[in-house]
Amino acid sequence: MDRGSKPAVLVTGGAGYIGAHTAKALSERGYFPVVFDSLSSGFREAVRWGAFVHGDIRDARAVADALDEYGAKSVIHFAGLIEVGRSVVQPDLFWEINVAGTVSLLTAMRERGVERMVFSSSAAVYGQGGRGALETIPEGAAKAPASPYGDTKLACEWMIEAQCRAYGLSAVALRYFNAAGADPSGLIGEAHEPETHLIPLAIAAALGEAKPLTVFGDDFDTPDGTCLRDYIHVNDLAAAHVAALEVELPAGAFEAVNVGTGKGNSVREVVDAVGRAAGRPVPHSVGARRAGDPPSLVADASRAKELLGWEPVCSDLDRIVADALRWEAQPAYGSGRRATDRKAQPAS
């Protein structure tokens, strides 16, 4: 791609799900995304905008070289491990890649004078929260991660904040709620291996590509007994990253911001929405609760609007499901291995 005078933005993990959608949004906004990805879980086919550098964030020299080559003065950092269950059995790996990887990245950024960072954080930093079951969660809520994955995200936030104070970097950590959906172009979408998320699994069950869905518990203290989550369209998430890149902040400032809609949908509502979109009901049964699942995780999304001027525009549940279904019916990459994994998933 011809770069022209476009400002370069280093996007670590830009071959992954949210990273690829953000690279597209950056390109549409006039930036030149430089995707830096090890391809350990991302897809080369997802890198369609800007440049691609094959590298590992723990390799500070490779990061510094990429920053030099493209003259990037800002970094959006997605690279890391995301599977909550795996973090329980391999916590050392999560600390090594997510935390030590971020230390190494920050060192290269400091040496090269990077001025702005946007960090991919998570509602997992709140854990069960300790608030009333159906209350929305503001950024100031207690931080009590329920998994080593959540611990690593919180540790990274602390470290980035300290780096801001010490060296004048300004940074925004975006705490995502439930990312879902796909770009309507059909070029990029969600492809995790193995897939554990509700919407892709419900779609795969409806399409007959996977075993029937198991609803993890219907005896929670929620309106219909199933868990409430705040589903946010991946393109709304991508737009939040661009807003966080551009927001005016003084040198040394650190902000942590929820990215959600402020509205919860239950597992049952998702199953019904997928059935409507697919034109056939989702085969499913109700099983036991999944360990660690809080009854409700819904953002108080007011800070994102106040600080970033950001609001969701395409996160209506039917829109999310329609876009996810279009992708799942014809994924541009990731389908072969994923289909095998789906069928190989143990009954839960």
**Least distance from ligand UDP to the Cβ atom of residue 338, Å:** 15
Report if residue 196 touches ligand UDP, rule: CB under 6 A. Answer: yes
Nearer to ligand UDP, 140 or 346 (CB): 346
Pairing of strands 170-176, 228-229: unpaired
Among 62, 267, 278, 308, binds ligand UDP (CB under 6 A): 267
**Least distance from ligand UDP to the Cβ atom of residue 76, Å:** 21
User: Which residues between 145 and 174 bind ligand UDP (CB under 6 A)?
Assistant: none
Interface region with ligand UDP, contact rule CB under 6 A, candidates 60-68, 139-147, 190-198, 248-256:
190-198
Residue, CB closest to ligand UDP: 227
How far, in Å, CA of 261 to CA of 252, rounded? Answer: 28
Report if residue 290 touches ligand UDP, rule: CB under 6 A. Answer: yes
Interface region with ligand UDP, contact rule CB under 6 A, candidates 28-36, 64-72, 104-112, 192-200:
192-200
Nearest to 18 by CA among 118, 94, 146, 128: 118
**49-81 residues labelled b (16+ CB within 10 A) or e (exposed):** bbbbbebbbbbbebbbebbeebebbbbbbbbbb
Report if residue 293 touches ligand UDP, rule: CB under 6 A. Answer: yes
How far, in Å, CA of 52 to CA of 226, rounded? Answer: 42
Among 227, 240, 277, 301, binds ligand UDP (CB under 6 A): 227
Residue type, 26: L
How far, in Å, CA of 104 to CA of 95, rounded? Answer: 12
How far, in Å, CA of 76 to CA of 172, rounded? Answer: 10
Report if residue 35 touches ligand UDP, rule: CB under 6 A. Answer: no
The structure tokens listed for 329 are 């019916």
**Least distance from ligand UDP to the Cβ atom of residue 215, Å:** 4
Report if residue 175 touches ligand UDP, rule: CB under 6 A. Answer: no
3-state SS assignment for residue 257: strand
Interface region with ligand UDP, contact rule CB under 6 A, candidates 38-46, 47-55, 70-78, 195-203:
195-203
Residues designated catalytic = 149
**Least distance from ligand UDP to the Cβ atom of residue 264, Å:** 10
Report yes or no: 217 and 211 within 8 Å, Cβ to Cβ: no
State the DSSP H helix or E strand holding residue 231, giving kind and residue range, or none if neither: strand 231-233
Report if residue 99 touches ligand UDP, rule: CB under 6 A. Answer: no
**Least distance from ligand UDP to the Cβ atom of residue 347, Å:** 11
**Least distance from ligand UDP to the Cβ atom of residue 179, Å:** 9
How far, in Å, CA of 161 to CA of 166, rounded? Answer: 9
Q: DSSP secondary structure string, 128-180? A: TTTS-TT--B-TTSPP--SSHHHHHHHHHHHHHHHHHHHH--EEEEEEE-EEE
- Cα-based distances in Å from 292 to 124, 216, 278: 11, 11, 30
Interface region with ligand UDP, contact rule CB under 6 A, candidates 30-38, 136-144, 207-215, 318-326:
207-215
The count of chain residues that interact with ligand UDP, using the rule CB under 6 A, is 14
Among 67, 164, 215, 240, binds ligand UDP (CB under 6 A): 215
**Least distance from ligand UDP to the Cβ atom of residue 209, Å:** 14
Among 178, 258, 261, 265, binds ligand UDP (CB under 6 A): 178
The distance from CA 191 to its chain's CA centroid, rounded to whole angstroms, is 12
Binding residues for ligand UDP, rule: CB under 6 A, are 178, 196-198, 201, 213-216, 227, 229, 267, 290, 293
